Structure 1
Amino acid sequence: MPATADAVRAFRERLGVPGLVDVHTHFMPERVLDKVWDHFDAVGPLTGVAWPITYRHEEEQRVALLREFGVRAFTSMLYPHKPEMAAWLNSWSTDFAARTPDCLHTATFFPEDGAPEYVRQAVEAGARVFKAHLQVGAYDPNDERLDAVWALLADADIPTVIHCGSGPVAAKYTGPGPIARLLARHPRLPLIVAHMGMPEYADFLDLAERHAAVRLDTTMAFTDFSERLGGFPPGELGRLADLGDRILLGTDFPNIPYPYEHQLEALERLGLGDDWLRAVCHDNGARLFRLD
């Protein structure tokens, strides 16, 4: 059943935070989101686990729900699956951010000749976070057509939420190898590894320990749903605690097969303490995006 605002409010009030900062929520043009939902409807046979969309609502209702949950800042994660799509998505997201002030202006890119120019335009238009999806886009982050893009984002210190882990299904360019090579060339690049890098959790924790600008988001990690597909190694909890200043709340709202508060419950039951939870669910994101 859908999350209740009361459950999320109780969580926030117990921690004493003014709201949540969710760096991994999806808003995109309606026809694109419909195709994304069609994909998740078909994922069940691929993974053996059904993936119902809990918040399959109109855009206005989805925004209202996040506000009701006390999410003070969220993103419009969107991504192209082919060339000549990213600039159009960026135009849509610029408009969405303008009419949705609590959305962190989000942009994206694809390895194509025009990428450096439209990424520069997005930055000049106020983009605060980018999204890259190696699994859906089926591209190598080390594609030479992206070199200028990564350099620009490193210089501007604008983070990219990047789906680079091999969950739920491995692809040619997923896994820690391509990201390690990318960071070897752009060591200051501020990346946010989506889904904690599942299922290669330990490898992406290694990269975060070696690169101070690398963060990880909690999207779907530690939940009952994801634990069935390959759980977080209990032996890595100590490193997760030590990296507490670089872990960010992400949920994948609205594309989640459970209520919103389950992500919060999953984080709480790790037993890493209230200070860690406060940092992950609010303080780290507020500091990164200069919300205070």
Structure 2
Amino acid sequence: MSVAGDDAVPSFWGALDLPGLADVHVHFLPPRMLRRVWAHFDAAGPLVGVEWPIRYRWTDAERVAHLAKLGVRAFTALAYAHRPDMAADLNDWTLAFARDTPGCLPSATFYPEPGVTEYVTAALDAGARIFKVHLQVGGFDPLDAALTPVWGLLAEAEVPVVVHAGHAPVAAGYTGPSPFGALLARHPRLPAIVAHLGAPDYEAFLALAESYERVAVDTTMAFTPFFDQFMPFPPALRSRLRELGLAGKVLLGSDFPNIPYEYADQLAGLERLDLGDDWLRAVCWANFMERFGNAV
């Protein structure tokens, strides 16, 4: 089964006898913020570093329809705050978007600032089932004292947080395995999903997923020709990736729509790993459902 373009995606998951795909790393943002994000990618800004033409520069409705056409039955609406006084409003928008969009997991974010515990609690009370933080773009220390009660809340509620903790595409002050490892040492029950497999420090982040019961990784952008130009996944780690996937600790992520290639490239990259159909079924569907239950 070769995933040669988006039209072939339904055949990919159909051949695996899956009901569709579940993608833990999809972005939907308020229109003004989305325009700014795309402008930053267009400019190949300092936190992008390379030319990055957005493939799916469409309206929300068009992008939701395309996910449906691909067979992505469950997905997120990840937003992330990069400064104070924006996270609560982002949460209002993303949670409302999920209420109006079948298949969208209620998503939220936070930032180290006064009042963060209160608005994270409010988001949980409103049904948030996943959070996102971006240590590269946000530029904050995950051990900031303001976040200590927030990490505890998420651990107690067993609500996962997708953390962009790796250096990719450009290193920043609090990226890399050391700051994230220090966070887990303080909060070992935190249900975290490491974005982009922690690229480029794949081995160190896989080790954290192996060591902490509630830590997983997502495949976002890894194994695509675009990403492999800069930070290819080491073949020697494939057996460990396979074991983690079969143990429920690897989830499909895509970064849709902010990718410079077709969605199908992500799936083709997973297929090329040749880790077996059981692994693909786990990564593309079962592991998400195990964590999020009746998400569809």
TM-score when normalising by structure 2: 0.95
The change in CA–CA distance for 1:42 and 1:209 in structure 2 (over 3 A counts) is: same
Aligned residue in 2 for 1:284: 287
Aligned residue in 2 for 1:206: 207
The change in CA–CA distance for 1:46 and 1:33 in structure 2 (over 3 A counts) is: closer
Check conservation: 2:47, 2:137, Cα contact below 8 A.
no
Check conservation: 1:79, 1:109, Cα contact below 8 A.
yes
Deviation at 1:113, TM superposition (A): 1.4
The change in CA–CA distance for 1:158 and 1:46 in structure 2 (over 3 A counts) is: closer
SS of equivalent to 1:104: coil
Verify: 1:25 aligned to 2:45, yes or no: no
Verify: 1:262 aligned to 2:265, yes or no: yes
Once the two structures are superposed, the pairs formed by residues 185-196 of structure 1 within 5 Å of their partners are 185-196=186-197
Aligned counterparts of 1:205 and 1:60: Cα–Cα separation in 2: 36
Aligned counterparts of 2:86 and 2:74: Cα–Cα separation in 1: 26
Equivalent of residue 271 in structure 1, options 266, 269, 274: 274
Once the two structures are superposed, the pairs formed by residues 244-255 of structure 1 within 5 Å of their partners are 244=245, 245-255=248-258
The change in CA–CA distance for 1:83 and 1:48 in structure 2 (over 3 A counts) is: closer
Deviation at 1:257, TM superposition (A): 0.6
Deviation at 1:15, TM superposition (A): 0.7
Check conservation: 2:6, 2:263, Cα contact below 8 A.
no
Amino acid at match of 1:173: Y
SS of equivalent to 1:220: coil
The change in CA–CA distance for 1:291 and 1:57 in structure 2 (over 3 A counts) is: same
Aligned residue in 1 for 2:219: 218
Once the two structures are superposed, the pairs formed by residues 178-189 of structure 1 within 5 Å of their partners are 178-189=179-190
Aligned residue in 2 for 1:147: 148
Aligned residue in 1 for 2:40: 39
Question: Identity over aligned residues, as a percent?
Answer: 58
How many residue pairs end up in the alignment?
290
The change in CA–CA distance for 1:278 and 1:42 in structure 2 (over 3 A counts) is: same
SS of equivalent to 2:230: helix
Aligned counterparts of 1:175 and 1:5: Cα–Cα separation in 2: 33
TM-score when normalising by structure 1: 0.97
Amino acid at match of 1:259: E
Aligned counterparts of 2:235 and 2:132: Cα–Cα separation in 1: 29
Aligned residue in 2 for 1:129: 130
Aligned counterparts of 1:206 and 1:143: Cα–Cα separation in 2: 24
Aligned counterparts of 1:68 and 1:54: Cα–Cα separation in 2: 16
Gaps of 5+ in 1: none
Once the two structures are superposed, the pairs formed by residues 13-162 of structure 1 within 5 Å of their partners are 13-43=14-44, 49-162=50-163
Amino acid at match of 2:222: A
Aligned counterparts of 2:266 and 2:29: Cα–Cα separation in 1: 22
Check conservation: 1:90, 1:107, Cα contact below 8 A.
yes
Aligned counterparts of 2:35 and 2:49: Cα–Cα separation in 1: 22
**Which 10-residue stretch deviates more, 153-162 or 34-43?**
34-43
Aligned counterparts of 1:273 and 1:147: Cα–Cα separation in 2: 40
Amino acid at match of 2:155: A
Aligned counterparts of 1:130 and 1:45: Cα–Cα separation in 2: 25
Q: Deviations over 1:134-161 (max 9, x none)?
A: 0010001110000000000000000000
SS of equivalent to 1:127: coil
Aligned counterparts of 1:102 and 1:46: Cα–Cα separation in 2: 30
The change in CA–CA distance for 1:63 and 1:278 in structure 2 (over 3 A counts) is: same
Aligned counterparts of 1:118 and 1:112: Cα–Cα separation in 2: 11
Check conservation: 1:41, 1:51, Cα contact below 8 A.
yes
SS of equivalent to 1:103: coil
Aligned counterparts of 2:256 and 2:108: Cα–Cα separation in 1: 17
Check conservation: 1:44, 1:51, Cα contact below 8 A.
no
Deviation at 1:49, TM superposition (A): 3.7
Q: Deviations over 1:14-63 (max 9, x none)?
A: 11100100000000100001111111112278766421111000111001
Gaps of 5+ in 2: none
Deviation at 1:6, TM superposition (A): 3.1
